[in-house]
């Protein structure tokens, strides 16, 4: 849904909350989005944050695209952003670290991303920019060697060049947003800036000299087409300020493709909190944990079960942050709390000022949440998240 015109800012929710990997599942997700629209913005055009895995994208990139566009129009929906992070299955089976595969060293990741860009360019309403969120290069251990980072950087540069060629051909701008996540090469916005200004800009001259038949790419085009997807849940786990990240990105001249409005868990390191966290240790998704000790020491684990096995030996004053996407309308219940207020007044002011053109509610974990957080159906839950966001957008933080 359109929040403002100048600058243009659109809000949606990510349809990755609805299970399914094939095109038929993506069409079913649109029907859910139409039901959310009826509760949130009846009668108004309503954005759909598409999630198209590799299987659905392959089905859609062809004759089926026209009928998919017709479905959007018939339901009063429009597409402006795609979640291109999970390439393969994302629900109903263990995903864990498999969500990063293929990473940005692999030709499959580039081909899939450009397929999404072609699809989105065909679906975008006139005059609206598109965004695609993607893997933050890949899991950190795989990129310890400079050669691995260089390989990924070269592939991202080629992708940015192809996106610029798509813009020249169609008149539609599609921007790629690397989405920092705990445990990956890019964990924070600061990591993104180091990678963008070191690895990407550092590789650009050599890439152009050796480009062969590939289109050339200058820094202006790179910055136009490659930016960041800032996930508020991930930032909170890493202890990163959302407002601070937005300010740093603006100062450095790198675009924010979109901001994902999401919340993690925070808790003290007490026996009661650890027992409560057990309910979030599901077999499907990774739940990275960061522990902040009173003296400033920080420790981290790649999943919740690993963390719970180690936390008993740390001081009770240790603050915990857990990568478990919880609904924005839920403030928490002692001893667990939400990090939703990490999107603070300064962050909202920056967002209203146009720090990001696209805002996306993302609570994909709905089916894996403890039962107490699923006491309403998925449509009612998403609508309640919109109410929380819209109240804060309007400057009414006390409304919920």
Q: Please, what is the Cα angle at 179 between 174 and 180, to 5 degrees? A: 155
- pLDDT, position 397: 73
Report how far Cα 371 is from the mean position of its chain's Cα atoms: 25
C-alpha 50/C-alpha 168 separation (Å) is 24
Residue 273 lies in a domain: no
pLDDT score at 197: 97
Domain with 221, as residue range(s), is 2-267+325-393
Judge contact between 81 and 358, C-beta under 8 A: yes
Q: What per-residue confidence (pLDDT) applies to 396?
A: 84
8 Å CB contact between 75 and 34: yes
Domain membership flag for residue 278: no
Residue 28 lies in a domain: yes
Positions of the chain with pLDDT under 50: 399-400
Q: Residue 398: its pLDDT value, please?
A: 65
- The whole-angstrom separation of Cα 257 and Cα 242 is 14
What gap in Å lies between CA 362 and CA 236, rounded to an integer?
14
Q: What CATH number corresponds to the domain at position 227?
A: 3.20.20.150
Domain assignment present for residue 68? The answer is yes
Instruction: In the chain, count H helices and then E strands.
Output: 14, 15
With contact defined as beta carbons under 8 Å apart, do 50 and 12 qualify?
A: no
- Report if residue 311 sits inside a domain: no
Provide the pairing of β-strand 2-4 with 9-13.
Answer: antiparallel
Query: Distances in Å between the alpha carbon of 351 and those of 6, 79, 304?
Result: 12, 20, 32
Q: What is the pLDDT of residue 400?
A: 44
- 8 A C-beta contact, residue 119 and residue 82: yes
Q: Please list, residue by residue across 67-78, b when 16 or more beta carbons sit within 10 angstroms of its beta carbon and e when fewer do.
A: ebeebbeebbbb
DSSP assignment letter at 325: E
Tokens in use for 177? Answer: 């947003």
The H or E element spanning position 23 is helix 23-40
Res 80: pLDDT: 98
Beta-bridge partners for 230? 259
Task: Match 């949130």 to its residue by tokens.
Answer: 40
What is the number of structural domains in the chain? 1
60-95: per-residue pLDDT in tens?
999 999 999 999 999 999 999 999 999 999 998 999
Of the candidates 293, 287, 284, the one whose C-alpha atom is nearest the C-alpha of residue 311 is: 293
Tens of pLDDT, residue by residue over 331-377, are 999 999 999 999 999 999 999 999 999 999 999 999 999 998 998 99
Residue 345 lies in a domain: yes
């Amino acid at each position: 849904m359109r929040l403002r015109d100048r600058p243009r800012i659109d809000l949606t929710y990510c349809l990755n909350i609805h299970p399914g990997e094939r095109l038929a599942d993506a069409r079913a997700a649109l029907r859910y989005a139409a039901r959310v629209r009826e509760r949130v913005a009846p009668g108004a055009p309503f954005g759909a944050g598409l999630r198209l895995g590799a299987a659905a994208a392959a089905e859609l990139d062809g004759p089926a695209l026209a009928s998919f566009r017709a479905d959007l129009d018939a339901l009063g929906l429009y597409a402006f952003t795609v979640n291109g992070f999970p390439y393969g299955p994302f629900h109903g089976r263990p995903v864990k670290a498999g969500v990063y595969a293929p990473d940005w060293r692999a030709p499959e990741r580039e081909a899939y991303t450009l397929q999404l860009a072609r699809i989105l360019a065909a679906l975008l309403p006139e005059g609206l920019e598109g965004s695609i969120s993607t893997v933050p290069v890949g899991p950190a251990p795989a990129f310890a060697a400079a050669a691995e980072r260089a390989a990924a950087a070269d592939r991202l540069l080629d992708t940015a060049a192809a996106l610029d060629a798509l813009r020249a051909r169609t008149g539609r701008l599609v921007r790629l947003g690397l989405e920092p996540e705990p445990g990956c090469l890019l964990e924070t916005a600061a990591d993104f800036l180091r990678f963008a200004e070191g690895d990407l800009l550092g590789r650009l001259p050599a890439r152009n000299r050796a480009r062969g038949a590939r289109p050339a790419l200058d820094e202006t085009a790179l910055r136009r087409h490659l930016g960041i997807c800032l996930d508020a849940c991930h930032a909170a786990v890493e202890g990163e300020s959302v407002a601070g990240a937005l300010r740093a990105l603006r100062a450095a001249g790198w675009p924010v493709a979109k901001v994902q409005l999401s919340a993690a868990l925070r808790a003290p390191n007490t026996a009661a909190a650890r027992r409560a966290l057990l309910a979030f240790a599901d077999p499907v998704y990774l739940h990275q944990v960061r522990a902040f000790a009173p003296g400033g020491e920080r420790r981290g684990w790649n999943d919740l079960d690993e963390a719970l096995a180690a936390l008993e030996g740390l001081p009770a004053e240790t603050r915990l942050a857990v990568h478990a996407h919880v609904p924005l309308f839920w403030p928490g219940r002692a001893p667990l709390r939400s990090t939703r207020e990490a999107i603070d007044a300064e962050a909202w002011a920056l967002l209203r000022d146009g720090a990001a053109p696209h805002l996306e509610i993302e609570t994909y974990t709905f089916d894996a949440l403890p039962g107490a957080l699923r006491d309403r159906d998925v449509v009612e839950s998403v609508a309640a998240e919109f109410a929380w966001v819209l109240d804060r957008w309007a400057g009414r933080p006390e409304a919920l």
